[in-house]
Amino acid sequence: MKKLALILMSLLVCLGLFAGCGTQGESTSNTAGDSSSSSSQENGSSEAVQKGDPDKKAILVVSFGTSYNDTREKTIDAIEQEIADAFPDYEVRRAFTSQTIIDKLSERDGLEIDNVTEAMERLVDDGFGTVICQPTHVMNGLEYDDMVAEVSAFAGNFETLKFGTPLLNSSEDYQLVAQALVKNVPTSEDDEAVVLMGHGTEHFANAAYAALDYTLKDQGNSQYIVGTVESYPGLEQVQKQVEALGAKKVILAPLMIVAGDHATNDMASDEEGSWKMEFKKAGYEVDIVLKGLGEYPEIREIYVSHVQQAIDGE
């Protein structure tokens, strides 16, 4: 009996020790977790974002970019300059969204241009507290959405961060752009058609091209036709409209801010498959207007007005 009692007591002691070990391990784990959580909270509070001076203001003009220096000077440079002239209290800075173009300009010309993230980091480092981001995009497409996402990641670094809108945003924009196109790419003969070649996108904002085409015709400009090189309506749909007009001559002009690669090669070149050669093959006389939208004063004025609307909070 004594032996049995001793065995039972030994078992009870061992069970107590095991239970104690288990409890100790759980307690240690919880303590460590609390310590880690407390440390994280302290770090979070000590790393509060220091915002810039709200009186130090900048306008970041964001463009897709171009490697064609001559058209960049006439378009992107001109837009930036007019914005700078209109808002002397703001420093105007530049960013391109195309890393391919940025790299090409750097390697070929030694020209250093920030991408969007680099430009925003520079604005933070330089202590700006008020930033207006104005894109030169034609519409609210993929490039615009990506730009907004990149810029918005820095919102906590500024007292004020606002976005201007692309060229085609409001009903008034469509009216003004249509009028600018008719003024700067005129047609004087009944048997002429003006074909405006846009880029096109998979984004639902591609509907902007059809809306602009409708606006032109609603204003009484039935000879103006909008198409895209990479989406709908494409060259096939444009050719149907030209044929329906009974036109004998086609005036080709880019519906892009710069007259870059698409305008030079896909629209105006003598290469097989270009819009110029396709219309010539179909028997039309073809004229080329190799000017980007940024060359038109009325278009630049729209961008200036969009900056003002952003500043005013409209």
Rounded Cα gap, residues 237 and 227, in angstroms: 8
Amino acid letter, 218: D
Q: Which residue has the tokens 């196109």?
A: 181
Q: Does the annotation count 199 as an active-site position?
A: yes
Contact assessment for residue 65 and residue 113, using Cβ atoms and an 8 Å cutoff: yes
Catalytic residue, candidates 137, 199, 262, 306: 199
Q: State the DSSP code for 47.
A: T
Rounded Cα gap, residues 309 and 314, in angstroms: 5
Q: Which residue, among 265, 252, 241, 237, has the nearest Cα to 291 in the 3D structure?
A: 252
Rounded Cα gap, residues 62 and 56, in angstroms: 19
Rounded Cα gap, residues 193 and 287, in angstroms: 10
Strands, E, within the chain: which ranges? 53-63, 91-96, 128-135, 160-163, 192-198, 224-228, 249-254, 285-288
Show the CA angle centred on residue 59, arms to residues 53 and 64, nearest 5°: 140
Query: Could you list the active site residues?
Result: 199
